[in-house]
Every structure is written in C-alpha cells, then in structure tokens.
Amino acid sequence: MESYKHILLAVDFYEHNNTVVYRAQDLANKYQAKLSIIHVVDNMPMIDAGYGADIPFNFDLTTELMATAKKNLTKLGEKLMVSEDRQWLEMGSPKTEIVRVANENKVDLIIVGSHGRHGLALLLGSTANGVLHHATCDVLAVRLQDN
Ligand code: AMP
C-alpha cells in the first residue's frame, strides 16, 4: 500500500480546529507528505461566521471576509510551514471547493473536523459529510467533541 503523498487540511478557523490541525501536521510528518491547507468563504447567507462577526451576509462584507480569512490562512501557513502556493482561499460551497481543489492537485487524503459551525447537532457536520460523499480520495474526519 502506498503512503499518502499530498494531504489537504480543510479549516474553518474555529477554536476546536486545533485538534484537526495537529492531526494533519502529525500525519504529514509521519508520511513525509506534502501538506496543503484550504479555507472556503461560504457564499451562502450566514449569520454566524467564524470571523468574530455576527451580522447578515452581504456583498460588501465579502471583501472583508476574504481579507480576514487570508490573514488567518497566512498565519496558519506560517505555523505549519505551508508555503503560499499550497494555501488555498476559495469562495463558494465549502464541500464543492474542497473536493475540487483536492482533485485538481492530486490530493490523496483530505482531513476535516467531524463538526464545525454547521454540525454540532449532527453525528457528522454537513461539510464533513459532503466531502466524504463526493471526494475521490481518502477522507479523515477527526472526531471533535461538542463540549
Ligand atoms: P461543519 O460542516 O461546519 O460542521 O464542519 C466540519 C469540518 O469541515 C470543519 O471542522 C472543517 O474541517 C471543514 N470545514 C467546514 N467549513 C469549512 C470552510 N468554510 N472551509 C474549509 N473547511 C471547512
């Protein structure tokens, strides 16, 4: 069995994501795999974004969300020593964009948290579930407790 060569970590920048981040870092080290990170600015209406805002989505806000997301991604990239060309900031549906970027970049393992902003009440969050259904490579959903 071949070991993983390219791991894609999907982050939503919620605090509990640290567990997911450390798991991705650990696996990338163990497999000597390339690590990429992705964040998708959701283009669906939102009232509970993870950027410290609690306001309805509008187009003016998009630029600000992208800028804040870029800062967060750059910071995480520095922490994980992931170069800029392996940091993906996309806009759209998180599950669609995560799977698209994975396919286009020959990713062989996608790592997501089991729960995030969308999923505390569910067994598996909607993004994790969507990625799991549509990905053409392995997917690891890192178990997160909701307490
Ligand atoms: P959720 O579906 O919101 O419960 O999120 C489950 C997991 O999917 C999170 O822990 C992240 O790993 C990933 N995820 C959710 N939203 C995004 C996003 N906007 N961009 C990238 N990854 C995301």
Which of ligand 1's atoms lies nearest the C-alpha of 10?
22
Q: What is the pLDDT of residue 145?
A: 72
pLDDT category of residue 15 using cuts at 50, 70 and 90: low
Give residues (CB < 6 A) around ligand 1.
10-12, 17, 20, 38-40, 42, 94, 112-113, 115-119, 125-128
For residue 62, the CA-to-ligand 1 centroid distance in Å is: 18
SS3 percent helix, strand, coil of the chain, rounded to 5, is 40, 20, 40
Can you give the pTM of this predicted structure?
0.88
Q: Residue length, the chain?
A: 147
Shortest-distance Cα residue to atom 21 of ligand 1: 39
Residues 39, 65, 36, CA angle at the centre, nearest 5°? 15
Structure tokens at 14: 């919620």
Burial class of residue 131 (count of CB atoms within 10 Å of its CB; 0-12, 13-18, 19+): buried
pLDDT in tens, 102-129: 999 999 999 999 877 665 556 678 899 9
Residue 13 CA, ligand 1 centroid: distance in Å: 9
Residue 77 exposed, middle or buried by CB count within 10 Å (0-12, 13-18, 19+)? middle
pLDDT on residue 62: 82
Per-residue model confidence as pLDDT tens digits over 21-54: 999 999 999 999 999 999 999 876 555 555 555 5
Write down all domains in the chain, each with its CATH number in brackets.
6-143 (3.40.50.620)
Render pLDDT for 56-87 as a digit per residue (tens, 0 to 9): 556 667 888 899 999 999 999 999 999 999 99
Structure-block tokens of residue 45: 């209406």
Q: Is the pLDDT of residue 13 over 90?
A: no
Q: Tell me the CA–centroid distance for residue 98 and ligand 1, in Å.
A: 9
CA of 20 to the centre of ligand 1 (A): 10
| The pLDDT of residue 1 | 75
Q: Ligand 1 centroid vs 91 CA: distance in angstroms?
A: 13
